[in-house]
Amino acid sequence: MMNEISLNDRIPSFSLEATILNTCSDKDMLGHWVVLFIYPKDNTTGCTRETKEFNERYSEFKSLGVKVFGLSKDTLASHISFSRKLDLHFSLISDPQTQLIRKLNAWKEKSMYGKKYMGAERSTFLIDKNLIVKNIWRKVKVGGHVDQIFDKCKELIL
């Protein structure tokens, strides 16, 4: 079992397919503050709402110098279609083998209607210019979450 990533740890190095960038790696994040949000699945109610809310505030994040990335195990094709549908201004990273999701300790046992299965736990990471994790939100509830993240960005960056 891998160690859980904690505050002040460096983000694990990775290179995965993504919308906009084609390939996204930790090197694309270096030198920028980054919000990396992990969500379970494209085109589901909560995930669509969360992604839309990040998109609606994208220019505000950008004005603070913050890059936003979404991450799920959906395929690149699914991400491209989801991204077009929502007219997203930021990249969605595809992690079908759950490599990065596991390294970020967001691959968890879940249960629905009494059935247990493995899935991505909605989590958000705030990462500084040196790829150091400055804040972690686990078991995220969508309502008000993007506001929380934005407030934390303002607090740490300004």
Question: Catalytic residue numbers?
Answer: 47
Of 10, 29, 28, 2, the closest CA to residue 134 belongs to 10
d(CA 14, CA 33): 17
CA proximity to 37, closest of 104, 114, 98, 109: 104
